[in-house]
Amino acid sequence: MDVHSRDYRARARQIIEETPEVREAVNAATQTFVDNRQNAFADLDGTALSRWAERVKSHALTHLADYLEEAEARLIERGAHVHWAETASDVHQIFERIVREQGVKKAVKAKSMLSEEIGLNPFLESCGVEVFETDLGEYIIQLLGEPPSHIVGPSIHKSLDDTRVIFHERLGTPRDASPERLAEAARDLLREAFLTADLGISGGNFLVAETGSIALIENEGNIRLSTSVPRIHIALVGIEKVLPKWADLPTFLQVTAKSATGQPVGCFVSMIQGPGGLPGGEPDGPEELHVVLVDNGRSRLLADPEVWEALRCVRCGACLNICPVYRQTGGHAYGYVYSGPIGGILGPGLVGLEETLPLPFASSACGACADVCPVRIPIPDLLHVWRQRAVERGLTSDVERSVLGLLTSTATRPRLFGWAEKAAGLLPAPVLRHLPMLREWSAGREPPRLEGPTFRELWDEGIE
């Protein structure tokens, strides 16, 4: 996927000014998620749970090579093919061979953020494969030609009416169709695709090393269908998705579902150990299971002593839902597959700071994301690390660096600070409006009146 994060500020402004309904839609959806998440954790010791989950994930990451080899061995024993890919191009090559050798013409796809990272859909289309996104939200944005706006709900920025319009145009449903009617139209069309596709593609929420199990969580049933009906299933799994033991899985399934939508668990969970059909000695299921273990920047991020903890992420979206900055625009402003707070720490790690520069700065430093992260990623700290690096590498604006440098020099010299205070009191108030960086902040505010003794003067006199 092309990264457009450098345009964040312009895109954010455009979304807020030109399409205010997006902000409304995103706010409504995320507030629902936030409320439901809160209810789900009300009777639980969330802190103890997240401490446990953090340790399991950190253990997995600090022993990652061994666990990846174990998962691979289990999968091969069951008759699955395991491939490894360092880059997007490696993944493309793997798909290209399977498509060519198996004569794949049609593919059904379950939602996978990793597949967006590596630009899978355009590549498959260039190989002559017709690709159907089967997650209803992904299907809607596929029709619209848009990228996803949220990790869990790709189309939360689209209203009912938006969906009515596009379905009317492309599927011929009535212009005022009910949500049930729209869902029915999508179901009938995609059902046909499930039944006639040669290939099913999925991501992976977790990869359990002990049993080689790929775990997938969903509510619609499209993942179960995509991974059961076509004769070939390819699962794309980031190397950081590893869980060590089968016994770790039930808690992670529940914690992820509760953090994402407040549900006890998703309506459907698939735990896939190997191919079905003849190789698996079963009545149906894919004859071939391919698991592609993908790096795409993860091993480099793992090597980073300050930011590696970002790899604990379970993609629940809780940090997006609670982020006051994300809620203003939804995901499109970020120009990258991962948006919100997690986007601000994964983006620079996976793609590079130059390409994703504005993202760590798209934050009010409120810290709410750290409170809701089920694996206790210290997101504000990691955002801060990237910001520091941006300044050190000279990537931030010269004006900002100068102004902040001046402020630092003044604030760290008490006498100079005292004089500056007095001088500011002598300035006519409207001047403040025109100072760089204060202009926008003061646009909607009355200027403060700097009159009377300063706090320091009062202190010296002895305040009552």
Partner 1 sequence: MSDERVSKRARARILDRVREANQEREPVEHPGALPDGLEPPGPFGDAGRSDPVGAFEDRLRAAGGEVVRLADEAAARKWLEEFAREFEHVSVGVGVPDTLQPALPKAPPSEAALGVSVAVGAAAQTGSLVLSSKEGRQSQLLPPVHLIWVRAGDVHTTLGDALQACRQDLPATLALHSGPSKSADIGQILVTGVHGPGRIIAAVLLGPKP
Residue 444 sits at φ, ψ, to 5 deg, of -105, 15
User: Considering only residues 315-354, where is the footprint of partner 1 by CB under 8 A?
Assistant: none
Q: Which two structure tokens, joined as six digits, stand for 54?
A: 């953090």
User: Considering only residues 101-140, where is the footprint of partner 1 by CB under 8 A?
Assistant: 134-137, 140
**DSSP symbol at 84:** E
Exactly one of 10, 13, 24, 97 binds partner 1 (CB under 8 A); that residue is: 97
Q: For partner 1, what does the binding mask look like between residues 26 and 65, x meaning CB under 8 A? A: --xx--x----------xxx--xx--x--xx-xx-xxxxx
First to last CA, the chain: 62
Q: Which two structure tokens, joined as six digits, stand for 3?
A: 């990264």
Distance CA 455, CA 461 (A): 10
Q: Does residue 308 touch partner 1 according to CB under 8 A? A: yes
- The answer to whether residues 278 and 231 touch, using CB atoms and an 8 Å cutoff, is no
Q: 158 or 315: whose CB is closer to partner 1?
A: 158
User: Considering only residues 363-422, where is the footprint of partner 1 by CB under 8 A?
Assistant: none
Q: 5 or 50: whose CB is closer to partner 1?
A: 50
Q: Which two structure tokens, joined as six digits, stand for 97?
A: 């061979």
Q: For partner 1, what does the binding mask look like between residues 254 and 283, x meaning CB under 8 A? A: xx--x----xxxxxxxxxxxxxx---x-xx
Instruction: Name 212's Cβ contacts closer than 8 Å, sequence gap at least 6.
Output: 70, 71, 72, 73, 74, 75, 77, 78, 80, 273, 274
User: Considering only residues 135-154, where is the footprint of partner 1 by CB under 8 A?
Assistant: 135-137, 140, 153-154
Identity of the amino acid at 464:
E
Exactly one of 124, 151, 236, 239 binds partner 1 (CB under 8 A); that residue is: 239
Exactly one of 75, 209, 253, 313 binds partner 1 (CB under 8 A); that residue is: 253
Q: 6 or 59: whose CB is closer to partner 1?
A: 59
Q: Does residue 170 touch partner 1 according to CB under 8 A? A: no
- The answer to whether residues 237 and 293 touch, using CB atoms and an 8 Å cutoff, is yes
Exactly one of 200, 203, 262, 285 binds partner 1 (CB under 8 A); that residue is: 285
Q: Where are the alpha helices (DSSP H) in 357-413?
A: 368-372, 379-392, 398-411
Exactly one of 37, 158, 332, 376 binds partner 1 (CB under 8 A); that residue is: 158
* Angle subtended at Cα 317 by Cα 365 and Cα 30, rounded to the nearest 5 degrees: 80
Exactly one of 70, 117, 133, 295 binds partner 1 (CB under 8 A); that residue is: 295
Q: Which two structure tokens, joined as six digits, stand for 358?
A: 């504005």
User: Considering only residues 181-210, where is the footprint of partner 1 by CB under 8 A?
Assistant: 182-183, 186-187, 190-191, 194-195
Q: Under rule CB under 8 A, how many of the chain's residues touch partner 1?
A: 106
